[in-house]
Amino acid sequence: MKPLTTARSLAASLALTLALAGCSKPEPDAGLKVYRHSAAGVPTNIDPLQAATVYSNLVVVNAYDTLYRYKYLERPYTLTPNLAAAMPKVSEDGLVYTIPLKESGRYIDSPAFEGGKGRTVTAHDVVFSLKRHFDPENTSQGKWLWAGRIKGMEAWAEAGADYEATVPGLRALDDFTLRVELTAPFPQFVHTLAMGFAAVVPPEAVAAYGRDLGTRAVGSGPYELLEYSKQQVRFQPNPNFREEPLDLEAEGYDPSAHAAYGLADLDGKAPPFVDRLEIDFIQESSARWASFTSGREIQFSGLPVEQTEAVLASKDPITLKPEYAKRYHMESGPEAGLVFTVFNMDDPDIGYHEDPEREARNRELRCAMRDAFDWEARNQRFYSGLGIVFPGVIPPILEEFDASLSRASVAHNPQQARERLKAAGWNEDNLPVLDYGLVSSVLAREMFESFRGRMVDVGIPREKINGETFATFGDYNRALRTSKLSIMGYGWQLDYPDAENVLQLFYGPNASPGSNASNYDNPEYNRLFRQTKTMQPGPERTEIYRRMNRMLIEDCVGIIGLTRSHVSLWHKDVKGLPDTAILGGFWLRFVDVDAATP
Amino acid sequence: MQLGLYLLRRIATGIPLILGVTFISFLLMVYFGPDMTFELVGKNPTAEQIAQVRIQLGYDQPFLVRYWHYLVELATLDLGRSISTGESVRSLLAETVPVSMALTLPGFVLGNLLGIGLALLAAWFRGGWVDRGIMAFSVIGMSISFLIIIIAFQVFFSSRYGINYFPVRGWDMRSLGSYLYYVTVPTLAIVFVSLGYNTRFYRAVFVEEIGRDHIRTARAFGAGPVAILGKYVLKNSLIPIVTRIMFSIPSIVIAGSLLIESYFGIPGVGKLAYDAVTTGDQPVLKAVVGATALLFVVVLILNDMLYRAVDPRVALK
C-alpha cells in the first residue's frame, strides 16, 4: 500500500512540475523589435467613415494614408505632405485645390486585390474615399466636415450615389492629380485631409469586405494591421510602404528639447523602424499602470490621476521623482482641446427670453453662476492641479489664443456673484430650477456636487440645481443634442488646429442637434463667423476670432474653460516622442526600440 | 418514449419563457436603452441626416414589428451585425464565448471542488475551530470587493511590487503553456471570490444532511468520517449541488466575467455584452439575451435529467 501511495505522490508532483514548467510566457515576437503602445480608450470601429475618436483615428492613420499629416515635432501643429507630393496649389479665389499625389503610394497585399498583390494608390481612390461619406448607404461620422462644401457632392448623393458618375467638385485629373472645387473658400480644408476620415480606401477592399472594414484594414499606411480586437491591435510594417527617410530638421527637431529621446539615431532612415507595433486599449487606469510598471508589457502610459502624487516630484514645472526619472522618459503639455460647461440659451429659465428684461436678468444669473464657480478648485480636485485654466474657448495650444485676455471670467468671485443676483432681483424663491446633466459615474457625480456646492455658497438653493443623471454617455448625448438640459458640461478635442473648430461650437446654425449645445445664437457673432469662414489665417482673422471669443465671455454663455495637461511616460528603451492628441497619431511610424524581444 | 415525450413537453413549456424574457428585455432596450443615433450622425447633422440614421437603425419602425424581426432573427440564427463595429454578431459570439468559457471554467470548477471540500470539513467539525476558521475565511472572501481582489492580485502576481511573474493583460490559447500563463491569475481571483459563497452554501446543505437519522445510524454502526461524508452526506446532497452548478452554467457561457475581462484585457463575451448595454448596440444585446434565455431552457431540461440520474426516485413527468 505504501509504495503505491509514494508512486502516486511522485506522479502528482511530476504533473504539477510539468504544468508549472509549461506555464511560460509565449513569445510569438521573439527576435523582433516590438513597440507596445497603450491608449486609455477603445476604437469601436476602424473604418475611416467612423474615425471619430482619438482611438479609431490612431489606428486609421497608421493603417491608411492621408494626403497630409502633421509634422512630428513642430508645434504649433504644422501640415506637411503625406501621400500628397506637395502642399496643394490653391486658386486665387480659394475655391480650387489641385493636389499632386506621390506615385509611390502602394496598398498592402490583400486578397481584395487581383492576384492578392497591393496596387498603386491613385487620385481615383481619394475621390472614391471622399464620396463614400456621402453615399446614403453608409453611415459617416465625418460627413459634416465637407457637407455643402464640395461642389456637386450633395447632388451626386441625391442622384443615387453612382460611383461611376462624376462629382464636378471632386475629380481625378489623372492618376496622380486631384482637383477639388469648393462651393466657398474653406481655409481649414487641407486640415481635414489630414484626418482619419479622409484616409484613402481602395474600392476593391470595400467591395470585398464591406462593413467588415470596421475591424480590418486594407490601406497604404506605414503599417499593416495583423489583428484587431477591442483589447489590442497588432501591426507589422507595410512592406509596400514608400521609402521616405526621416528628415528630423524638416519635422521640427530641436536638440535642446528633443535630444534625450534618441531621435538623432533615426535621422535619415526610412520608417517604420519596428517589426511589430502593438497598441493595448486599457480603460482601467490601475491595470494600465500595473502593465506599464511591470516592465514586460506596455511601454507607454499616460500618468493616472491617482498616481500623480506618488510619481511627480513637482507639478510646476512637471518633474518626476528620481526613481521614476531613472526608468522612464516623461513629456508633458496642454492637450489639444478643452473642458467646459455651457448654459442652454434656448431655455427661457436661463437663456433667451421673449421679455428683454427677463433676458437681462437671465444673463446676470449666468454670470453670477460663472463667478461662483471655482476653476482652481476644480483643477486641483479633478485634474491634479495640472490643468491650465484660461478665459474663453480658444485654448492655449492654438496660435489664436489670446494671452492678454482678462482672467476675470475664470476668477472665483462669490461676492460678485451674490451682488449680481441681488441687483438682478434674484432670490431663493424666484430662482428657476435648472437641470444639470451628468452621466452616471462617481466622477461625474462628484463634479456635479462640487458645482452645486459652489452655487449654494452664493445663495442658490440646493434644490434649484437638479442633477439629471443619464445611464450612459449615449443617453446624455441625446439630451444634449435635443436641448433637454439647462446646464451641460463636456469636453472638446480639436479636429484640427484652428480656432474655427471651437468657435463653431457657438455658431447659431450649428445649434441642436448640431455641436452648438448651448444654442447660442448671436447675430453679430454669426456674422463674424461667416466672415471668417472664408478668410485665410492671418492677423486680421485672428483679431476677429478673438473678438468672437470676447463676445462669448461678455454674454456669459458658459463657464469656460480648462485645458487638461497630459503627462506621458515611456520606457527608456523607446526612441520617440509620443503624441496622444488626435492630431498626433502619425508619430507611431517614427517610433523605434533599442533591442529585439529576447 | 417517455423521455422523448418529456423533452417535447419541456421544450414546449420553454417557449413561453423565451418569449417572456426576450419581450421584456427588448422592451427595456427600446424604451430605456441608449439611442445610438447621435453617436453615428457626426457633429453637425441636419434633421434629414438624423432621420436617415434612425431608419438605418430601424428606430422608425413600430415596437411590435421590431420585436417580430427579433424573433425571426433568433429563429433563423441570422443575428445581424454589430452597429458599433459592423462585425457579424454570430462570429462575434463564436469568437468570444469560447474565450469566456476557457477563462471562467477553471475557476468555476476549482471554486466548486474546493468549496465542497471545505464545506464537508466545516460541516463535520461543526462549531469547532476548523468550522470557525473556514467560515471566517469565507466571510472575508465574500466581503472584499471583486475589484479590490483583482487589483491586489495584479499587484502581487504581475507587477514589480510583487513577484512579477504573470502578465497583467493578454490572452493566448495557442498552447497549454501560454494558456496557463494568462489564465492563472484570473482563475485565482475567481476562486478566491467564489470560494466563500460556495463554501457557505454547501456547508448549510451538508450540516442539514449530517443531522439526519440515517447518518446517526451509520455513525452508530461505526462508519468512519470518509465513508459517512463521501458515501452518505455528499451523495444525498447531490440535488442542491447539481442545481447550483447547473444554474451557474449560463453565466459561465454567456455572461463571462466583465471585471476579469476588462482588467486582464481578455476578449470575452462579458465585456462584449457590457459594451453592448452601455452603447446601445442592440443586435449584440438581442443575441446575448436570446442565447441566455435559450441556454436557461436547456439547463432546466438537463437539470431535471440529472436529478433523475442522481436520485432514481425522481420521475420525469
How far is CA A450 from its chain centroid?
27
Chain A partners of B162 at a C-beta cutoff of 8 Å?
none
pLDDT band at A514 (very low <50, low <70, confident <90, very high): very high
Rg (CA), chain B: 24
Domain with residue A381: its CATH number is 3.10.105.10
Inter-chain residue contact A147 with B47, CB threshold 8 Å: no
- Please tell me which residue of chain A has the smallest CA distance to B154: A290
Inter-chain residue contact B160 with A25, CB threshold 8 Å: no
Q: Give pLDDT tens digits along chain B (317 positions).
A: 677 888 888 888 889 999 999 999 999 999 988 888 888 888 888 888 899 889 989 999 999 999 999 999 999 999 999 999 889 999 999 999 999 999 999 999 999 999 999 999 999 999 999 999 999 999 998 999 999 999 999 999 998 888 889 999 989 988 999 999 999 999 999 999 999 999 999 999 999 999 999 899 998 888 888 999 988 999 889 999 999 999 888 877 777 688 899 899 999 999 899 889 888 899 999 999 999 999 988 998 888 888 888 877 766 66
Identify the pLDDT of residue B188. 95
Do A341 and A209 fall within a single domain?
A: no
Q: Is the pLDDT of residue A1 over 50?
A: no
| A209 occurs within a structural domain | yes
Q: Last residue of a domain, which of A188, A218, A237?
A: A237
How far is Cα B232 from Cα A469, in angstroms, rounded to an integer? 55
pLDDT band at A316 (very low <50, low <70, confident <90, very high): confident
> What domain count does chain A have?
2
Distance from CA of A515 to the nearest CA of B (A): 5
Question: Is-contact A302 A580, C-beta < 8 A?
Answer: yes
Inter-chain residue contact A47 with B86, CB threshold 8 Å: yes
Distance from CA of A123 to the nearest CA of B (A): 26
Question: Is-contact A275 A236, C-beta < 8 A?
Answer: yes
Q: Is the pLDDT of residue A547 over 70?
A: yes
Inter-chain residue contact B265 with A232, CB threshold 8 Å: yes
How far is Cα A278 from Cα A227, in angstroms, rounded to an integer? 9
Distance from CA of B301 to the nearest CA of A (A): 36
- Please tell me which residue of chain A has the smallest CA distance to B161: A294
Q: What mean pLDDT is predicted for residues A136-159?
A: 95
Inter-chain residue contact A26 with B178, CB threshold 8 Å: yes
| A261 occurs within a structural domain | no
Write down the residue that cell numbers 451585425 correspond to: B81
| CB neighbour burial string for A292-328, b if at least 16 within 10 angstroms, e if fewer | bbbebbbbbbbbbeebbeebbeebeebebeeebeeeb
| A326 occurs within a structural domain | no
Find which of B168, B266, B284 to mutate to test the A interface (most A CBs within 10 Å of its CB).
B168
Q: Is the pLDDT of residue A301 over 60?
A: yes
DSSP A33: -
- Please tell me which residue of chain A has the smallest CA distance to B174: A26
Nearest to A214 among B43, B53, B87 (CB): B87
Chain A partners of B154 at a C-beta cutoff of 8 Å?
286-287, 290
Q: Is the pLDDT of residue A8 over 60?
A: no
Chain B partners of A280 at a C-beta cutoff of 8 Å?
169, 265
Q: Is B174 near chain A, with CB under 8 Å?
A: yes
Q: What mean pLDDT is predicted for residues A69-80?
A: 95
Residues A425-484: pLDDT tens digits?
Answer: 999 999 999 999 999 899 999 999 999 999 999 999 999 999 999 988 888 988 999 999
How far is Cα A241 from Cα A220, in angstroms, rounded to an integer? 7
Do A226 and A366 fall within a single domain?
A: no
Q: Is the pLDDT of residue A208 over 90?
A: yes
Identify the pLDDT of residue B316. 61
| A488 occurs within a structural domain | yes
Q: Last residue of a domain, which of A237, A266, A289?
A: A237
Do A213 and A349 fall within a single domain?
A: no
Do A83 and A217 fall within a single domain?
A: yes
Q: What mean pLDDT is predicted for residues A272-276?
A: 97
Do A356 and A212 fall within a single domain?
A: no
Q: Is B152 near chain A, with CB under 8 Å?
A: no
Q: Last residue of a domain, which of A198, A213, A237?
A: A237
pLDDT band at A10 (very low <50, low <70, confident <90, very high): very low
3-state secondary structure of A315: strand
Identify the pLDDT of residue A548. 98
pLDDT band at A192 (very low <50, low <70, confident <90, very high): very high
Nearest to A215 among B86, B174, B266 (CB): B86
Domain housing A494 = 337-563
Identify the pLDDT of residue A352. 97
How far is Cα A74 from Cα A254, in angstroms, rounded to an integer? 9
Percent of chain A with pLDDT over 70: 95
| A544 occurs within a structural domain | yes
Inter-chain residue contact B84 with A44, CB threshold 8 Å: yes
Q: What mean pLDDT is predicted for residues A308-312?
A: 95
Find which of A230, A279, A442 to mutate to test the B interface (most B CBs within 10 Å of its CB).
A230
How far is Cα A168 from Cα A153, in angstroms, rounded to an integer? 8
Identify the pLDDT of residue A4. 41
Inter-chain residue contact B86 with A514, CB threshold 8 Å: no
pLDDT band at A17 (very low <50, low <70, confident <90, very high): very low
Do A89 and A228 fall within a single domain?
A: yes
Residues A420-433: pLDDT tens digits?
Answer: 999 999 999 999 99
Percent of chain A with pLDDT over 90: 88
User: Using CA atoms in the order A38, B37, B87, A40, what is the torsion angle rounded to 10 degrees?
Assistant: 10
Identify the pLDDT of residue B33. 85
Distance from CA of B219 to the nearest CA of A (A): 26
Distance from CA of B73 to the nearest CA of A (A): 19
Q: Which of B279, B46, B53 is nearest to A515 (CA)?
A: B46
Nearest to B174 among A26, A290, A472 (CB): A26
How far is Cα A552 from Cα B182, in angstroms, rounded to an integer? 54
Question: Is-contact B34 A474, C-beta < 8 A?
Answer: yes
| A584 occurs within a structural domain | no
Q: Is B178 near chain A, with CB under 8 Å?
A: yes
| A292 occurs within a structural domain | no
ipTM value for the complex: 0.84
Q: Which of A501, A496, A511 is nearest to A548 (CA)?
A: A501
Do A106 and A219 fall within a single domain?
A: yes
Do A230 and A372 fall within a single domain?
A: no
| A537 occurs within a structural domain | yes
* DSSP assignment of B140-166: HHHHS-HHHHHHHHHHHHHSTTTT--S
Give me chain A's average pLDDT, please. 93
Identify the pLDDT of residue B315. 66
Beta-carbon contacts below 8 Å between A and B: 159
Q: Is 0.80 topped by the overall pTM? A: yes
Q: What mean pLDDT is predicted for residues A173-187?
A: 97
How far is Cα B316 from Cα A290, in angstroms, rounded to an integer? 53
Q: Is the pLDDT of residue A552 over 60?
A: yes
Question: Is-contact B257 B273, C-beta < 8 A?
Answer: no
* A10 residue type, one letter: L
Q: Is the pLDDT of residue A7 over 80?
A: no
